[in-house]
Structure 1
Amino acid sequence: MSAFDRPRLNLCFVGWGAIARRVGELLAERHPQGVNIVAVAVRDHNRRRDDLPAGVRLISEPSELAELDLDMVIEAAGRDAVAVWGEAALRCAASFIISSTSAFCDDALLQRLVSVAEKAGSRIVMPSGALGDLGALTAASILPLKEVVHTIIKPPRAWRGTAAETMLDLEALEAASPFFEGSAREAADRFPQNANVAVISALSGIGLDRTRVVLVADPAASRNAHRVEASGAFGRLDLTLENEPLATNPKSSEMTALSLVRLVENAVAPIVR
């Protein structure tokens, strides 16, 4: 490819749940030039799926990635999928995009995937997800950081089916109620669907064990809110986002899907934003 050719992007999703379907829907609407969804990896590839993009191949084994001439693999299937698909994805594609960053609470897994990426010349990419963009925090971490606090506020229904139900009565709440405070590692490990994003703020700044996370259930909240506060040699940062929940999964934010669309489009765009 010459310097003047438009890049192409052959893409495979691992998982076809709420996030992947939303990304596929948005890409179909926006038609970024050069982007081709060529495969979707699922556990039960024999089950009929009427919402797949036309021509997409269903696969169920990591070894099948080698047959697809891929440029990017996007994981959106839960943290167990990172260990299952990660090594093959890094050997078969230039980029492995990890949505379930709570998988990196496992230091050994992270180091193993980094080692594979170094040998293969590929990259592990963590999208900014529900945080929109943490470029400022990443830049700030070049100098010493003193403190990073990530507060996650969601309506009670978003915490249903999680350990929060054993810590407070979600149905009886009348005011915002913090129910967990601890490290990003602890938060993401105990609440992988809701606090997965804490791994992103942690690895963008001072790490999983030094980043403090506060989880809050608020009956007055209609959106999933994130506040990241940091201080250090760079100065002070205070970033707040209020995200609409994903229509098909209130535990996730619409911004999670939007950040993946941005990442895909930037891979082929003449201007990267």
Structure 2
Amino acid sequence: MPNGCTPMSGSERIALIGAGAIGGQVARLLAERDTPVRIVAVGVSDASRARAVPAGAMVIDDPAALAATGATLVVEAAGRASVESWGVAALQAGADFAVSSTSAFVDDGLLTRLLALADRHGARILIPPGALGGIDALAAAARMGMHGVTHIVTKPAAAWAGTEAETLCDLHRLAAPVTFFEGTARAAADRFPRNANVAVISSLAAMGLDDTRIALVADPQARHNTHRIEASGDFGRMTVEIENYPLPDNPKSSAMTALNLVRLIENRVQRLVI
């Protein structure tokens, strides 16, 4: 743990949903940093498959089993399809629910239902910054009038393979960057759910899914994923740009996504919160 970050008494009980690269990196970093939390469960789609999990954590594939784990925080990193079932179970159990696959919230009805459950059971829905930086400043600026927010997502051309981008441009023959999508955050996250969760994060922080503008760019020369957020409002103007390196275990996931989850968890157990 960093100097000055004295842990609070008691231990947070964490359930990680998803046993992939992001969840694995979160578990490793928490252990390496000796963060005073306990990972009590790992939620997966099929508990019969052998997989490495933190010592002492039970493997569950039924969201209804969450309540028995005593988890106080459920952290989702398993994909859009997992958000509703695990979110409902977490909130009904009175646990806070941290959502990584925020593209699920293009369905306004889902977010409304989860918020109602959170209110009924005294829990919270937490949206970590994911692969982004500057979300704290963007959310703060939104307390005053906002004029506009544009979020530009640039990735290597190959990173868009297997998505609708293949029908919008020739990813394999690009000689220069191509903006193949411009539109609302809702449309971006709906059409590119595995690549544009960040569109929902930046939109929820400020102007909403239908008023935040998103541009998606394929760049044949890019080596990493870059996010650039430009915002203006009564607060002034801001531009935030971050270039993310991938996780070693999964080149399609940014290391910052796991790091922001670790920060969220540590902020719940430290007396000094930044």
For Structure 1 versus Structure 2, the TM-score category normalised by the shorter chain is: over 0.9
Q: Which residue in 2 is equivalent to 1:103?
A: 104
**Which residue of the partner structure matches residue 149 of structure 1?**
150
* Structure 2: distance between partners of 1:92 and 1:31: 27
Give matches, 1:94-243, under 5 Å. Answer: 94-243=95-244
Residues 127-163 of structure 1: CA distance to partner in whole angstroms, max 9, x if unpaired?
0011134111111111111110000001112111111
C-alpha displacement of 1:94: 3.3
The alignment status of 1:27 with 2:51, answered yes or no, reads: no
Q: Percent identity?
A: 53
In 1, Cα distance between the equivalents of 2:8 and 2:40? 21
Q: Which runs of 5+ in 1 are unaligned?
A: none
Between the aligned partners of 1:5 and 1:193, the Cα distance in structure 2 is: 36
Residue of structure 1 in register with 2:12 after alignment:
9
* Alignment TM-score, normalising by the size of structure 1: 0.95
Higher alpha-carbon deviation: 64-73 or 91-100 = 91-100
User: For 1:58, what is the secondary structure of its paired residue?
Assistant: strand
Partner of 2:21: 18
Q: Please give the alpha-carbon distance, in whole angstroms, between the structure 1 residues aligned to 2:28 and 2:8.
A: 27
Offset at residue 245 of structure 1 (A): 1.8
Tell me if the contact between 1:147 and 1:211 (Cα under 8 Å) persists in the aligned partners. yes
Cα offset, 1:189, TM superposition: 0.6
Task: Find the aligned partners of 2:73 and 2:134 in 1 and give their Cα distance.
Answer: 20
Using the alignment, how far apart are the partners of 1:127 and 1:121 within structure 2? Answer: 19
User: What is the aligned length?
Assistant: 268
Contact 1:163–1:190 (8 Å) recurs in 2:
yes
Specify the code of the residue in structure 2 equivalent to 1:26.
Answer: L
1:154-192, Cα deviation, whole Å (9 max, x unpaired): 111211111111111111111111110010000011111
Q: Distance in 2 between matches of 1:119 and 1:30?
A: 35
Three-state SS of the structure 2 residue aligned to 1:102 is helix
Amino acid aligned to 1:201: S
For the pair 1:37 / 2:75, whether they are aligned, the reply is: no
Unaligned runs of 5+ in 2: 1-6
| Superposition deviation, residue 30 in structure 1 | 1.3
Alignment partners' CA distance in 1, 2:121 and 2:169: 47
Does the 8 Å CA contact 2:176/2:221 hold for their aligned counterparts? Answer: yes
Q: Say if 1:5 and 1:235 are closer, same or farther in 2 by CA, change over 3 A.
A: closer
Query: Runs of 4 or more off by more than 3 Å in structure 1?
Result: none
Code of the residue aligned with 1:17 in structure 2: it is G
Normalised by the size of structure 2, how large is the TM-score? 0.95
- 1:81 aligned counterpart, secondary structure: helix
TM superposition shift of 1:249? 2.7
Would you say the 8 A contact 2:133–2:240 is kept in 1?
no
Q: Are the counterparts in 2 of residues 162 and 191 from structure 1 also a CA contact under 8 Å?
A: yes
1:241-272 CA distance string (max 9 Å, x none): 01112223333211001000111111111211
- Work out whether residues 182 and 214 of structure 2, in 8 Å CA contact, stay in contact via their aligned partners in 1: yes
Structure 1 position 245 matched with structure 2 position 246: yes
Residue 3 of structure 2 corresponds to which residue in structure 1?
A: none
* Aligned-residue offset at 1:67: 0.5
